[in-house]
Amino acid sequence: MKSLHPLTWWIWSLLIVGAVIATNSAWVAGLAIAVAAISVHQFAEDAPWAKSFWFSLRLGAIILFIRTIVGVLIGVPIPGTKLFSVPILPLPSWIAGIRIGGVVTQERLLSSIHEGLIIIAVICLFGAAVSLTSPHKLLRVTPVVIYEFGVATVIATSALPQLVQSVGRIRRARTLRGDENPSWRSIAIPLLEDSLARSLELAAAMDSRGYGVSRKRSRYRPIPWQQIDSAVIASALSALALALVLR
């Protein structure tokens, strides 16, 4: 596929997020995660930010596990098919209606998993947008009115992929030195030093390019909007329209 406009995948992700929230369906959320995974696998570049989606997928799995446990153990009782029971923890009278423990029903479990899948879908779709879009190209198309905000956003979205890349590089270095199972304590200090060094390099690069001196923007090789960009956005718009009709 041709290189898409930097805004294409972000608009696509926002529209698909709207479709997932509008339908409020676990099946649609799962389908959105699958489509995002296929898109990242097929179209992501070999760059540090390309791993953001897979990190967000692992983060989503952790969130789903925590949300399911919390939903089962803490919350408002939902009647239905009994699965098992958990000892009830007494609570003060002023929080009546909320219970810790008790009977765990199939409906209560499915409700917790359903809410967790919606959250995972939103996280993964934004992770896909980060993985599929070069932050440098995204900054190039940022309007001058919000350029400073765009710089802060690009730095923020690219910090996590760089952090993941640094952790992997430090782990490999520790393994080559004989530490086959490095602990987080042995990784933390080198990671902090690497982050500080990257911050100083970024500050020096921005200063050498005169960032903030003038608000006049120069344009070199402007990025055009292509028909393939319109096709991708049209597909997401169709999905959102279908979701609004069927909800």
pLDDT at 154 over 70: no
Residue 207 lies in a domain: yes
What amino acid is encoded at 2 in this protein? K
Q: What is the per-residue pLDDT across 114-136, written as a single tens digit (0 to 9) for each?
A: 888 999 999 999 888 888 887 76
pLDDT at 41 over 80: yes
Which strands form 74-75's sheet, in the order they lie side by side?
74-75, 99-105, 82-89
Average pLDDT for residues 74-101, to the nearest whole number?
A: 70
Q: Minimal CA–CA distance to 131: which of 205, 197, 190, 46? A: 46
Number of structural domains, the chain?
1
Q: What pLDDT, on the 0 to 100 scale, is given for residue 155?
A: 67
- Please, are residues 13 and 33 in contact by the beta-carbon 8 Å criterion? no
Burial 177-191, CB ≥16 within 10 A → b, else e: eeeeebeeeebeebb
The answer for residues whose C-beta is within 8 angstroms of residue 194's C-beta and 6 or more apart is 166, 170
Q: What is the per-residue pLDDT across 19-34, written as a single tens digit (0 to 9) for each?
A: 888 888 888 888 999 9
Q: What is the per-residue pLDDT across 218-234, written as a single tens digit (0 to 9) for each?
A: 555 567 777 888 888 88
Sign of CA dihedral 114, 37, 15, 243: negative
- Could you tell me the residue range of the domain that residue 237 belongs to? 8-213+227-246
Residue 26 lies in a domain: yes
Residue 3 lies in a domain: no
Residue 218 lies in a domain: no
Q: Which two tokens stand for residue 24?
A: 């409020």
E strands in the chain: 74-75, 82-89, 99-105
Q: How confident is the model at residue 206 (pLDDT cuts 50, 70, 90)?
A: low
Q: Is residue 90 helix, strand or coil?
A: coil
Q: What pLDDT, on the 0 to 100 scale, is given for residue 184?
A: 72
Residue 2 lies in a domain: no
Q: How confident is the model at residue 91 (pLDDT cuts 50, 70, 90)?
A: low
Q: What pLDDT, on the 0 to 100 scale, is given for residue 67?
A: 84
Name which residue leads in pLDDT, 154 or 245.
Answer: 245
What amino acid is encoded at 14 in this protein? L
Average pLDDT for residues 192-213, to the nearest whole number?
A: 69
Q: Minimal CA–CA distance to 82: which of 111, 106, 99, 100? A: 106
Q: How confident is the model at residue 57 (pLDDT cuts 50, 70, 90)?
A: confident
